Structure 1
């Protein structure tokens, strides 16, 4: 949705404005700032909800409290009803976060359902920042003598401050008075498999219905927008399910549904996405990626995702091309991120030691909790590089809680049981049968980017060990060299730790 910057302490307003300017791509529609005492808030706006009246910083009617936010509060209508419509001045979903904090203080964060990073202050000096429990929306901070700085992306910080930058932990809030406090866990402690599966891979209709209805609700909640919204359609199972639900919603509301696919000429992703789009009747757009396109996008992708892990870079390159094209047509897109981590879609989940149900469950929980370092970082940065928001319905709280309460045996493969069979069975009839049973293929592979990019960096020099970074392959060394150059020669171990490879 947007980009935010905040500072508390000895505020240098000009420096804060420069920080905000470095993330203007996240919110090209408007710029807002406010200072009260020793607190400064800045906002770059991407207008999605209440385009005319939702400018930030938001304030209460008396002008005594202020908020800047990046993300979406999907239950904002329920919060309005609960707190009273008379409190609200705009149609912005972020205003629900403002009033929840005014009414309940930090406890108001528990009301919020969505993806967000926010900063809140009062005219009498109170200050609070917070990040959603999964870290879907990014937030970084740097604590230095006299001032604490916050921003949506690493690049916002001055080069001198970058060695101090850390990823702000998901599910936490911070204030000068209370310090860092956890208000929510990525995986709530009560979420665990309800029972062992007596017959792995065999389930009744009630489970399929529960999975289907929970995912449908999550997708529909993310269709809220006062501007255009579309779907990134890779041709895989997960994005096809999202597109199918979104298409039904769009039809009921008399709206078109644009879908977007990218791939090299003749790639399997383009072919599969076309099958899905024709089946659903969407307004489909294909971006054919040439070798030259991929190589030209490589440094842009590495800079955008602020990462050099090969699997992320390979998928980021086609994502960048997709986002560049789609951003000219819609302001927000839905993606299939998170389904593989919840329903055991990756091949390694089905190898030792994860052939043990308890080990598989632990690994699913771990990888969901780590998504903010990896796929979610790539998903956010590649879209926001072009001022477009990505929404991730599979990572809705209800979907996570349901998926991780399912016996892990139901996610294991075996004779006649392919990966994600439960998810496939739940959406039988919603997508074409050939897509429903299509095997898992990494986005960077299916799009055709992998081979091109591997060859593009084969001639890159190995990086000196003096950087203190362990690199696993020549390909990763090539991506790291680009990353280092694009991020202004960062060397500090503490900063490099933000980008630990998978």
Structure 2
């Protein structure tokens, strides 16, 4: 007999007019869950969509499936392993069947027993069943929540007050066109601050919820009703086994129960493989399958003539488990084909966007990526994978569960508690040492990395772990704190590659049996998972059964983050990250630098959560471009990339003049306090690299724009015909410093403790300008020496006591004042680099002026006054060096409002026309009176930046 078992994707709506297009969009968004077949059903207010991944009887069990009388229609995702017994019971009750599929058993069971059928299913499932006569749509999720169901109420503008969408994944709801994606800020806060997610109905998407394990929802004209149908969680909480008494019969019962569960989950008409981490749980499943194979058990037929195992290993890293994988494979009597996947940090960061998209919501660490790659490799060989998910939650595989047990034991039997503490001392000492090390390092708490407003909005949102006793803690971890998140990772990673994941430890009968066992079957003599260790002690080697250092499916995250620090800095220094209302970007950057240097109390997990939220927001929440019609040049210039730019084009290919291309909101003309008028013509250029010759860059672009000057007057554009007495070339100090190789990526600046300390006491100003960053402070120390910086800091502190500002920069000098940090709105790599001021800017100005005069016609040469190297931004202007005879205050007033672009405009050169003889009514922009002071002190060596921006003057 061929059975129709298959894992799929379901989606649909309730309360809308018939809409096949909507169903097709939703189904297409999760087609990876069921690439083998698809189907839809529309009836009155209900639409059902089904994507099918066929595992057994690939021709049977097509969905949605209806009863013969048409009353009930089912869309079903999952497998009910005890369907044969249920079918026999239903047939004895005069129910007839047309197929051999478990789908029809599920449908007939609901038709016979209603929602009471759900509790009787042993398996993993997400169910949607439409009752035509009662006009109700019922959704249900299995007792452990192995298979997902999401739902969203549709706003009245998209369908009406009682309309709903549902789907296996979140993407179909987003693809429906009837739900506007928005972040749930409470979910983001709890994830960032408390490291929790998937512990309730809430998702990271506002207005989208999930069904809980063992929960059902009924939709009708009366609205939505949700309730738990399963008593499993309640029954486990109520279990009161004795503290001791586990013996050989307990071990035998567990061994038999696990073997039966594995056997049930091997049924398939497509190849079955095993996810093998090298830990106790997955190794127990691998040798369990091996035992069935060597005994020629019929249930292992789908495994084939040899078992295929799939493992992610990390050669050379501390958390590599390959030696334990070898031991587990060696423990198998039959043939094993062991597939080893060796992910690298480069591969992970290349896969990161797809991984974020796959998971749909942030994950607690990069660990699930190891499973993602394992499933990717498995999909090339098998369609079904078994793994050990759930054993840690039911058998106390985590240290916090041991701590809960010891506390409870000490409270009830102090002598037994002391014995258990002594037996667990090696495990506990690891935790104590880690916490002590964190305290000794000092540094920031995670809360400091969040924005004050975001923290204030959620100040009352706290988190406490449920359960005072071991059993309470285990139940909490099974249904709330731990397992729901792991099952989400498992479901998304496996279904991304159209692989079905099965979890033998999560058999309701097996879990009930474990909770009926004495406590010492779970923890005994300092060993957790005691009954599992005992059951496997003669099958697996002691290297696995007596192993203390649990690793599991993880990645070498600490090492990978150091290897890929450039990518992480790109994200943290991006304009989008700076605009988020959740983070204190300065503190995040400083804390990340501190972690890289081996200091501070935070770990890579903290920075992963920040990174994950940012990438998730980009992928699911940020508006996407309507089209990809941007000019290639603009696209290349705006991309945040570390790839080197193309070489500077020769003079013949310099872009045509762009008269009047001022920074947004700035005027072309400016009236100075003495009544004279100056006009600024920004000159747009490509990016500048350290290998460019600054003189050639400036001369070529000035020569290309001489036409706007005419013969001593503005020759074209707004205000043509206006004359001027003299003119200058203003050049941004950024491009000067770049060509002098005085710009450095922040990750290449080895920050000292002194720089880190001093930077925390500097007033932080907008846009990263100044020394309120350890990177820029380190450049200041390197440039003028630590003693001078310390004296300047002391002078600044004293000056503030007497109300005097700016003494720090007066003492530190212009070299320090000219240091700039990364600014998120700048063109890469300026958004990721810190730079020193230009060396000898007056000499640079003189050299440029001499070269410019050589290409000027006689009339313009007579009015050309020289070159001005400026450090300008929206706060003001500092002249760093010039060969012009004009006074520096007047030159600074000419640029007081900085008309040049600070970002992708790339206008680092300006032709400045001084003392216009008449002001045309046709000139562009608004003439305004200037009374702005000179630029205030600027806020924001190593391998240097390979290229830099010309983006601002």
- Report the TM-score, using the length of structure 1 for normalisation: 0.89
Write the deviation string for residues 314-369 of structure 1: whole angstroms up to 9, x where unpaired.
22111111111101211111110111111111122223685324522211110001
Bigger RCO of structures 1 and 2 (CA < 8 A, at least 6 apart): 1
Structure of higher CA gyration radius: 2
The structure 2 residue matched to 1:127, chosen from 137, 141, 160, is 137
Write the deviation string for residues 374-426 of structure 1: whole angstroms up to 9, x where unpaired.
10110111001011111111111012112223333543364xx3232321012
Contact 2:39 2:49 in 1 (8 A): yes
Residues 435, 190 of structure 1: alpha-carbon distance in 2 compared, 3 angstrom cutoff: closer
Q: Whole-Å Cα distance in 2 between the matches of residues 76 and 31 of structure 1?
A: 23
Residue 6, structure 1, aligned to residue 114, structure 2? no
Structure 2 spans left out of the alignment, 5+ residues: 1-6, 155-160, 182-204, 410-467, 589-604, 624-953
Moved more, 9-18 or 248-257: 248-257
Q: Whole-Å Cα distance in 2 between the matches of residues 150 and 305 of structure 1?
A: 18
Contact 2:110 2:117 in 1 (8 A): yes
Tell me the equivalent position of 1:381. Answer: 492
Tell me the equivalent position of 1:101. Answer: 110
The structure 1 residue matched to 2:356, chosen from 302, 326, 333, is 302
Residues 463, 362 of structure 1: alpha-carbon distance in 2 compared, 3 angstrom cutoff: farther
Contact 1:236 1:440 in 2 (8 A): no
SS at match of 1:466: coil
Q: Whole-Å Cα distance in 2 between the matches of residues 79 and 361 of structure 1?
A: 31
SS at match of 1:21: helix
Tell me the equivalent position of 2:43. Answer: 36
Tell me the equivalent position of 1:315. Answer: 367
SS at match of 1:176: strand
Q: Whole-Å Cα distance in 2 between the matches of residues 396 and 316 of structure 1?
A: 23
Residue 466, structure 1, aligned to residue 581, structure 2? yes
Moved more, 385-394 or 459-468: 459-468
Q: Whole-Å Cα distance in 1 between the matches of residues 88 and 470 of structure 2?
A: 41
Write the deviation string for residues 154-180 of structure 1: whole angstroms up to 9, x where unpaired.
111125165321112221222234722
Residues 83, 477 of structure 1: alpha-carbon distance in 2 compared, 3 angstrom cutoff: same
Residues 213, 450 of structure 1: alpha-carbon distance in 2 compared, 3 angstrom cutoff: farther
Tell me the equivalent position of 1:110. Answer: 119
SS at match of 1:390: strand
Residues 193, 372 of structure 1: alpha-carbon distance in 2 compared, 3 angstrom cutoff: closer
* Backbone CA RMSD of aligned residues: 2.6
Paired residues in the alignment total 482
Q: Whole-Å Cα distance in 2 between the matches of residues 170 and 488 of structure 1?
A: 27
Cα distance, 1:90 vs. partner?
Answer: 2.0
Residues 192, 174 of structure 1: alpha-carbon distance in 2 compared, 3 angstrom cutoff: closer
Contact 1:239 1:335 in 2 (8 A): yes
Contact 1:346 1:440 in 2 (8 A): no
Structure 1 spans left out of the alignment, 5+ residues: 491-502
Cα distance, 1:207 vs. partner?
Answer: 1.0
Contact 1:345 1:440 in 2 (8 A): no
Residue 390, structure 1, aligned to residue 501, structure 2? yes
Contact 1:297 1:317 in 2 (8 A): no
Q: Whole-Å Cα distance in 1 between the matches of residues 231 and 316 of structure 2?
A: 43
SS at match of 2:501: strand
The structure 1 residue matched to 2:347, chosen from 269, 293, 314, is 293
Tell me the equivalent position of 2:469. Answer: 359
Residues 368, 285 of structure 1: alpha-carbon distance in 2 compared, 3 angstrom cutoff: same
Cα distance, 1:467 vs. partner?
Answer: 4.4
Q: Whole-Å Cα distance in 2 between the matches of residues 146 and 421 of structure 1?
A: 51
Q: Whole-Å Cα distance in 2 between the matches of residues 2 and 166 of structure 1?
A: 20
Q: Whole-Å Cα distance in 2 between the matches of residues 468 and 389 of structure 1?
A: 38
Q: Whole-Å Cα distance in 1 between the matches of residues 137 and 397 of structure 2?
A: 41
Which residues in structure 2 correspond to 1:309-458 (within 5 Å)?
Answer: 309-311=363-365, 314-351=366-403, 355-357=407-409, 359-370=469-480, 371=482, 373-412=484-523, 414=525, 417-445=526-554, 447-449=555-557, 451-453=559-561, 456=564, 458=568
Write the deviation string for residues 11-40 of structure 1: whole angstroms up to 9, x where unpaired.
433222211111111111111111111111
Residues 114, 34 of structure 1: alpha-carbon distance in 2 compared, 3 angstrom cutoff: same
Residue 154, structure 1, aligned to residue 170, structure 2? yes
Moved more, 394-403 or 428-437: 428-437
Q: Whole-Å Cα distance in 2 between the matches of residues 483 and 111 of structure 1?
A: 38
Residues 111, 463 of structure 1: alpha-carbon distance in 2 compared, 3 angstrom cutoff: farther
Tell me the equivalent position of 1:182. Answer: 228
Contact 2:246 2:517 in 1 (8 A): no
The structure 1 residue matched to 2:613, chosen from 458, 470, 480, is 480
Contact 2:371 2:553 in 1 (8 A): no
Tell me the equivalent position of 2:899. Answer: none
Residues 352, 38 of structure 1: alpha-carbon distance in 2 compared, 3 angstrom cutoff: closer
Residue 49, structure 1, aligned to residue 30, structure 2? no
Which residues in structure 2 correspond to 1:69-80 (within 5 Å)?
Answer: 69-80=76-87
Q: Whole-Å Cα distance in 1 between the matches of residues 225 and 401 of structure 2?
A: 38
Cα distance, 1:215 vs. partner?
Answer: 1.3
Tell me the equivalent position of 1:497. Answer: none
Contact 1:265 1:290 in 2 (8 A): no
Q: Whole-Å Cα distance in 2 between the matches of residues 210 and 463 of structure 1?
A: 57
Residues 50, 223 of structure 1: alpha-carbon distance in 2 compared, 3 angstrom cutoff: same
Contact 2:262 2:288 in 1 (8 A): yes
SS at match of 1:134: coil
SS at match of 1:355: helix
Moved more, 99-108 or 170-179: 170-179
Cα distance, 1:7 vs. partner?
Answer: 1.0
Contact 1:49 1:93 in 2 (8 A): no
Q: Whole-Å Cα distance in 2 between the matches of residues 19 and 298 of structure 1?
A: 24
Tell me the equivalent position of 2:733. Answer: none
Moved more, 459-468 or 56-65: 459-468
Q: Whole-Å Cα distance in 2 between the matches of residues 394 and 135 of structure 1?
A: 14
Residue 232, structure 1, aligned to residue 239, structure 2? no
Which residues in structure 2 correspond to 1:125-274 (within 5 Å)?
Answer: 125-144=135-154, 145-158=161-174, 159-160=179-180, 163-177=206-220, 179-189=225-235, 192-198=238-244, 203-251=246-294, 252=296, 253=298, 255=304, 256-266=306-316, 268-274=320-326
Contact 1:8 1:39 in 2 (8 A): yes
Cα distance, 1:455 vs. partner?
Answer: 5.2
Residues 120, 195 of structure 1: alpha-carbon distance in 2 compared, 3 angstrom cutoff: closer
Q: Whole-Å Cα distance in 1 between the matches of residues 105 and 582 of structure 2?
A: 45
Which residues in structure 2 correspond to 1:274-293 (within 5 Å)?
Answer: 274-280=326-332, 281-293=335-347
Q: Whole-Å Cα distance in 2 between the matches of residues 397 and 113 of structure 1?
A: 7
Contact 2:237 2:471 in 1 (8 A): no
Tell me the equivalent position of 1:493. Answer: none
Residues 463, 228 of structure 1: alpha-carbon distance in 2 compared, 3 angstrom cutoff: farther
Q: Whole-Å Cα distance in 2 between the matches of residues 88 and 449 of structure 1?
A: 52
Residues 418, 349 of structure 1: alpha-carbon distance in 2 compared, 3 angstrom cutoff: same
Moved more, 79-88 or 33-42: 79-88
Q: Whole-Å Cα distance in 1 between the matches of residues 97 and 549 of structure 2?
A: 46
SS at match of 2:24: helix
Write the deviation string for residues 235-282 of structure 1: whole angstroms up to 9, x where unpaired.
100000011112222342353321111122256322321221232132
Q: Whole-Å Cα distance in 1 between the matches of residues 291 and 40 of structure 2?
A: 40
